[in-house]
Structure 1
Amino acid sequence: MTDLSPNDDLRFRKSGYSGSVTQNCVEVADTPVGSAVRDSQNRGLGHLAFDAAEWRAFLDDVKHGRL
């Protein structure tokens, strides 16, 4: 995982797991080497970037209830 950084030209989309009732949303963007995640209410604070292996491991853990 890299440090918080500017959003640059990333194209973020709202996570399908974010609630539609509340404004608490996570946004995800694909990058050339993985994915980036940010808080939709604090977009100006930047994002967290993950390489492809880290992102796959995270998604695998979520799918199998390990997080």
Structure 2
Amino acid sequence: MAQEIHITNTGSPDVLPLRKVYAAAEAGILTADIWKTYPLTQAPDAHQALESRTAMGPTVLRPE
């Protein structure tokens, strides 16, 4: 079951401290919804998708 995590500095009791977020990431239980991944050589294409608003979510550049 997915749990939504909100990260803020408000100190609210329903917000996970950043150290717990890091621990979840290290344990492999933290996931991210990524719309598309581009190789770094295609950075102009990624930028165009974001600028033209055709990107349907988070876009990631990855080193090759």
Do the structures match in fold with TM over 0.5? Answer: no
Who wins on radius of gyration, i.e. which is larger?
2
Which protein is richer in helix relative to its size?
Answer: 2
TM-score (ref. length: structure 2) = 0.24
If asked which structure has higher relative contact order (CA below 8 Å, sep 6+), I would say 1
TM-score (ref. length: structure 1) = 0.24
Which protein is richer in strand relative to its size?
Answer: 1
